[in-house]
Amino acid sequence: MIEVPLVDLRATYLPIRDRVLPAFETAFDSMQLFLGPNIQAFEKEFTEYCQAPFGLGCSSGTDAATLALKAFDFAPGFEAIVPAHTFFATVESVVHAGGVPVMVDIDPQTYCLDPAKIESAITKKTAAIMPVHIYGHPADIDAIHDIAAARGLKVIEDAAQAHGAQYKGRPAGCLADAAAFSFYFTKNLGAFGEAGFCTARDEAVFRRMQLLRHHGHVSKFEHEIIGFNMRIDELQAIILRAKLPDLDANNARRRKIATRYDEAFADLDVVTPKVADYAEPNYHCYVIQMGRRDELHQHLSDCKVGTGIHYKTPIHKQPAMYTIEHRAHPMPVTERVCSRCLTLPCYPEMTEQQIAHVIESIRRFFSA
């Protein structure tokens, strides 16, 4: 039987193997591993790719979001508006930065933060809005910016899943005051370990990101502020540099697979992803909704097709939230999506036989 993993990490390595191994040898020969030449080169390359004025690498996507928030030096106890339908790191970053997460519901079509729900969540303590480009589909940034500009709030993109996704022809990472990316190994642009990235529109914010990333260090014996150890690793930068040139082509392949799925499931009792007029998603995840989600999940497992659930329990219902200050507005859309969503394999290395096997397995479930 054909097997289709949810993600095939080995398949992502083989095309870049001949580029990565010699670069590793060079790095080991020089031992310039501390913010070395590959880190500096990758920072320039990915910043330019995002069309952002400033950018720097860091140790993870969670740290990137934390750096982005802390770089604005908000008052302790500030509030940041976030969606509850996201990975837990979005809320963690607000807490790590000294803030209070305020969770609101999502748009039923895009699953991104619903701009219509933002106004009612704003208080005198609100300092930032943090939309998430969930599954690689951009949030409605212009609508969010209109609200933020009227209230003097900062907008910070959680672009952890959005490498190469576009909003009205502009890439994620240049759409707001700052942005945070994750290079976790399952991402469209993934390291083979942990790494992240921040972009910034303002140079002063960027300089503070640099200080925070490296212990507030300004010279060999001087530390200007209390910072962190959030540096990116030289070896991960080598991998990311090798993968970056193929990112657009790989995203295009994901979109073709998504189109195949859309067409194949059009007559079935499932909700396939919707794409807003303003968006070109990167399909980091291809997520369907259906009432018999758990049955289909088991059926596909029996068919050797890997699936995921992003995310089964929304953040406002996580046990950790009982231990921290937060606010949660009504979440009917989020809770419905979390009870019905299923992520299907959608990655550029999938073969035609694997794509056909996923489609046939799902259609067989509905015909049974």
pLDDT digits 0-9 by tens, 308-321: 999 999 999 999 99
Question: Phi, psi at residue 364, to the nearest 5°?
Answer: -65, -35
Average pLDDT, the chain: 97
- Are 21 and 136 contained in the same domain? yes
| DSSP 3-state of 174 | coil
65 pLDDT above the threshold of 90? yes
Strands 100-104 and 196-200: unpaired
- In angstroms, what is the C-alpha Rg of the chain? 21
Sort residue 31 into left (φ over 0), alpha (ψ -120 to 50) or beta.
left
Where a domain ends, among 213, 230, 245?
Answer: 245
Model pLDDT, residue 82 = 98
- Are 147 and 168 contained in the same domain? yes
Boundaries of domain holding 268: 246-367
- Are 250 and 228 contained in the same domain? no
CATH, residue 117 = 3.40.640.10
Model pLDDT, residue 231 = 96
Where a domain ends, among 212, 245, 278?
Answer: 245
**Tokens of residue 77, six digits:** 């106890």
- Are 301 and 359 contained in the same domain? yes
- Are 43 and 122 contained in the same domain? yes
pLDDT band at 172 (very low <50, low <70, confident <90, very high): very high
CATH, residue 346 = 3.90.1150.10
- Asked if the structure places residue 3 within a domain, the reply is no
- Asked if the structure places residue 149 within a domain, the reply is yes
- Asked if the structure places residue 158 within a domain, the reply is yes
Model pLDDT, residue 351 = 97
- Asked if the structure places residue 4 within a domain, the reply is no
- Are 278 and 358 contained in the same domain? yes
- Are 300 and 354 contained in the same domain? yes
Model pLDDT, residue 1 = 82
Model pLDDT, residue 214 = 96
- Are 190 and 264 contained in the same domain? no
368 pLDDT above the threshold of 90? no
Q: What is the pLDDT of residues 207-246, one digit of tens each?
A: 999 999 999 999 989 999 999 999 999 999 999 999 999 9
- Taking residues 43-56, what's their average pLDDT? 98
Model pLDDT, residue 81 = 98
- Taking residues 267-293, what's their average pLDDT? 98
- Neighbouring CB atoms inside 10 A of 41's CB total 13
135 pLDDT above the threshold of 90? yes
Where a domain ends, among 206, 222, 245?
Answer: 245
- Taking residues 349-365, what's their average pLDDT? 98
- Asked if the structure places residue 206 within a domain, the reply is yes
Which residue in 238, 235, 270 sits closest to 341, CA to CA? 270
- Taking residues 255-262, what's their average pLDDT? 98
- Are 229 and 262 contained in the same domain? no
Model pLDDT, residue 220 = 86
- Are 32 and 118 contained in the same domain? yes
Which residue in 156, 148, 146 sits closest to 82, CA to CA? 156
- Asked if the structure places residue 314 within a domain, the reply is yes
Q: Does the predicted model carry a pTM greater than 0.95? A: yes
- Asked if the structure places residue 1 within a domain, the reply is no
- Are 231 and 296 contained in the same domain? no
| Number of folded domains that form the chain | 2
- Asked if the structure places residue 80 within a domain, the reply is yes
- Are 203 and 291 contained in the same domain? no
Model pLDDT, residue 128 = 98
